[in-house]
A and B are shown apart, each in its own frame.
Chain A
């Protein structure tokens, strides 16, 4: 049911920069803000980025978000072992009149 497309996996060594893309359409990302969630193994998702590029209190500044047109990106700078998790983008879908999530990206720290 996901209408936001993410790469299934991404990886990097400690200290590297990793970028995750989230591709949508004019009826979701194109007109609405994007949020990102981090899901550590065996736990509930946690808010990571809201309103395209805002970090909640407590989220390290090595996480950053951006949006351009109908796509969004999450960047992790200075990758750390504790960043190994699944990452999901999300946005409102106008045609669905509800939320849509991305397909999810598993980040592995090599």
Chain B
């Protein structure tokens, strides 16, 4: 089970920070992703992380995104800097199943997903 948490409202130009708490599985056993969905729109993959620190980010957000992991708390986190209204979205965390190796997760899929948390960027 995955549960996202964090502020629901962020001011423009400030950082967005979210945490995903994992229960029922060891965070050290899988790769983990963040995915977002603007209201009324489609899904966008943000990036993934492995407990060892391996990360991979989508190019369009790479300069503003950091995904980190805290194995002691079985959590992983998303930080998105300098947000604008275009970053308003429901943010989901998800586990990778299938095959990931050395940072390559092309043969994996997302299951399960967290319930999602809406983050609104507004002053």
Chain A: CB-nearest residue to B103: A97
Count of residues in A whose CB is under 8 Å from the partner chain: 27
Report which of B57, B58, B106 forms a contact with A32, defined as CB distance below 8 A: B106
Chain B: CB-nearest residue to A100: B45
Evaluate contact between B59 and A35: CB separation under 8 angstroms: no
A102 in contact (CB, < 8 A): yes
Interface residues of A in 35-90 (CB under 8 A from B): 35, 37, 43-47, 50-51, 56, 88, 90
A37 to B98, CA, bound (A): 15
B70 in contact (CB, < 8 A): no
A98 to B60, CA, bound (A): 11
Residues of the B chain whose Cβ atoms lie less than 8 Å from the Cβ of A92: 105-107
Evaluate contact between B113 and A51: CB separation under 8 angstroms: no
A46 to B109, CA, bound (A): 11
A96 to B53, CA, bound (A): 20
Residues of the B chain whose Cβ atoms lie less than 8 Å from the Cβ of A43: 115
Evaluate contact between A98 and B110: CB separation under 8 angstroms: no
A19 in contact (CB, < 8 A): no
Evaluate contact between A51 and B42: CB separation under 8 angstroms: no
B12 in contact (CB, < 8 A): no
Chain B: CB-nearest residue to A86: B42
A2 in contact (CB, < 8 A): yes
CB pairs A–B below 8 angstroms (20 shown) = A1-B44, A1-B60, A32-B106, A44-B116, A46-B111, A46-B113, A47-B111, A50-B111, A56-B111, A88-B42, A90-B45, A92-B107, A96-B59, A97-B56, A98-B45, A98-B47, A98-B58, A99-B45, A102-B42, A104-B43
